[in-house]
Chain A
């Protein structure tokens, strides 16, 4: 499980495509990135879809970002999927409300006047 705070992101994540032999490959068009829960994390993608930044939005758990690309280099479509590990978003410590603490100690009792 991956974790972001409400002030963090995973920046400029590059995608790599490989063939069965492990060689670099290309895909047709721009890969599509989707967040399963845009209220928790959203995605900003480069114009060619090859790089994305996952931004935290608000506190939440288990948001999943999936990427789909077309591996068919011709007219057809052969979808190729990748799913990042689920991401939890927690409150950034810098955003935790500051507690004002008042402390006082009773003095030793004395007779009333």
Chain B
């Protein structure tokens, strides 16, 4: 019976670095978003308020995207990335694959690649040499 993925035991350094970068970005965004949320409650003109709301939306979207990437990294590492695990099979299944391999090699051994017997080339039109 096939087994499920095994979480990676050797995390990718690139993923670790990206996680750190995303965590730093989220840490920076959190107080900004909270501040804008508070700022939107203060009495101000509708025009000024519209700018605050716009940035609140933009910063919130950025945070959501960062969190989505973190979640995706969680999934890919839970799947075992970047490890490539060699599968271990019961003897009978392994023997079956070996037989298939032997058959394929036997068939492939009946073919030879046709060799080249001719070279073709044309000088074409002369052009100016590139400037030195």
Chain A residues within CB distance 8 Å of chain B: 2-5, 7-11, 13-21, 23, 25-27, 31, 54-56, 67, 69, 71-73, 78, 80-82, 84-85, 87
State which of A13, A20, A55 has its C-beta within 8 Å of the C-beta of B121.
A13
With known contacts A7-B128, A9-B126, A67–B121 Cβ distance under 8 A: yes
The A interface is mostly helix, strand or loop, or mixed, namely: strand
Kindly state the separation between the CA atoms of A78 and B116 in the bound complex, as whole angstroms.
Answer: 10
Contacts of A15 in B (CB 8 A): 119-121
- Counting chain B residues whose Cβ lies within 8 A of the other chain, the interface size class is 10 to 19
Q: Using an 8 Å CB-CB cutoff, how does the interface string of B113-132 with A read, 1 for contact, 0 for none?
A: 11111111111111111000
Q: Can you list 5 A-B pairs, Cβ within 8 angstroms, ordered by A?
A: A13-B123, A14-B121, A26-B113, A67-B119, A71-B117
A16 touches B117 (CB 8 A): no
A16 touches B126 (CB 8 A): no
Chain B residues within CB distance 8 Å of chain A: 113-129
A8 touches B126 (CB 8 A): yes
State which of B118, B122, B125 has its C-beta within 8 Å of the C-beta of A17.
B118
Contacts of A5 in B (CB 8 A): 126
State which of B115, B125, B126, B128 has its C-beta within 8 Å of the C-beta of A73.
B115
B126 touches A17 (CB 8 A): no
Contacts of B128 in A (CB 8 A): 7-9
Contacts of A10 in B (CB 8 A): 123-127
Contacts of B129 in A (CB 8 A): 7-9, 55-56
Contacts of B120 in A (CB 8 A): 15-18, 82
Contacts of A9 in B (CB 8 A): 126-129
State which of A2, A13, A18, A87 has its C-beta within 8 Å of the C-beta of B116.
A18
A8 touches B127 (CB 8 A): yes
A18 touches B117 (CB 8 A): yes
A19 touches B115 (CB 8 A): yes
Contacts of B121 in A (CB 8 A): 13-16, 67, 82, 84
With known contacts A13-B121, A13-B122, A67-B121, A80–B116 Cβ distance under 8 A: yes
Q: Looking at B114, B116, B126, B127, which has the most chain A CB atoms within 10 Å of its CB?
A: B116
Nearest-Cβ distance from residue B130 to partner chain A, whole angstroms: 8
